[in-house]
Amino acid sequence: MSILVIAEHNNLELHKPTLNTVTAALALGDEVDILVAGAACGKVAEQAAQVAKVRKVLLADHAGYEHQLAENIAKLVATIGKNYTHILAPAGTQGKNTLPHVAALLDVDQLSDVIRIDSPDTFARPIYAGNAIATVQSSAAIKVMTIRATNFDAAATNGNAPIETLDDTFNTEAVTFIKEELAQSDRPELTAADVVISGGRGMANGENFEMLYTLADKLNAAVGASRAAVDAGFVPNDMQVGQTGKIVAPNLYIAVGISGAIQHLAGMKDSKVIVAINKDEEAPIFQVADYGLVADLFEVVPQLENLL
């Protein structure tokens, strides 16, 4: 088994889900290499080299890789990937954008959002918004898959792997990067936070989310949202937790004014402890909540903040 892990990063920092993906890779075998493809991303390669038990880091530093365009990265991965038995990436938007493109170039089927590794060819993944878990056996020549980071521990970072530079360059003319609008926040990243507080339609408007931000700061928590809150324009879309948003599994998830639709539960029901605050005692969220409080969130959230 030789396994290639595609690092998720922003050219400055290695994103944490990469560490969880390395743990999944080490469950397959011990020849694990990490590919860092980006522009002026030497720092990221150095961080990747510190990941424990990694054989080597491959660094592809070129302007064509700056914005992680699938067209360029996938051609690079498909070129070097032929020498590997498995190609893994975290199941964030970068991995979801690129890996199926890689799989098609290699003419192999792909597995998305793997949550468990049974053997080098047998894996488990959720289907139907997490309402069923499928165990799938793959006879593909190269197993290409994205890994759900919340189901694997983060690898340690006390290693010292060698860094090898790659010369392959791909730079398509069919795609031009125009701009990026990233949400700014001092709070922990949603998918990596120990505590997540999410608001739903019950928040009534965007200003009321301030209550959750203040509470989040007391708990060093990230703030998430349901689709209803995003669609109503209360908060930006990158805060959405659910089947089509982010998957989180923190130690504590506090759902405030969220009914608990199937699609939302798909994104948070693996949290260790779930708290629901909702004035509707029939809300489905109470069926998965460890602690439920039937009350008006506008009275309860400030009280909670005072007590902490």
The gap from C-alpha 250 to its chain's centroid, in whole angstroms, comes to: 13
Q: Does 177 bind other proteins (CB under 8 A)?
A: yes
Phi (first) and psi of residue 197, to 5 degrees: -115, 125
Measure the CA–CA gap between 203 and 219, rounded to whole angstroms.
Answer: 19
Which residue, 160 or 307, has its beta carbon nearer to other proteins?
307
Among the listed residues 43, 53, 56, 67, the single contact to other proteins using CB under 8 A: 67
Q: Which stretch binds other proteins (CB under 8 A): 23-31, 48-56, 202-210, 281-289?
A: 281-289
Rounded least distance, CB 53 to other proteins, Å: 26
3-state class of 196 per DSSP? Answer: strand
Convert residues 215-244 into a mask of x (bound to other proteins by CB under 8 A) and - (unbound): ----x-------x--xx----xxx----xx
Measure the CA–CA gap between 193 and 15, rounded to whole angstroms.
Answer: 13
Measure the CA–CA gap between 33 and 116, rounded to whole angstroms.
Answer: 20
Measure the CA–CA gap between 141 and 152, rounded to whole angstroms.
Answer: 25
Q: Does 96 bind other proteins (CB under 8 A)?
A: yes
Q: Does 182 bind other proteins (CB under 8 A)?
A: yes
Which residue, 49 or 259, has its beta carbon nearer to other proteins?
259
Q: Does 181 bind other proteins (CB under 8 A)?
A: yes
Q: Of 249, 254, 183, 245, which is closest to residue 215 (Cα–Cα)?
A: 254
Q: How many CB atoms lie within 10 A of CB 218?
A: 14
Among the listed residues 27, 52, 80, 140, the single contact to other proteins using CB under 8 A: 140
Q: Which stretch binds other proteins (CB under 8 A): 31-39, 44-52, 128-136, 203-211?
A: 128-136
Q: Map the footprint of other proteins across residues 16-55, applying CB under 8 A.
A: none
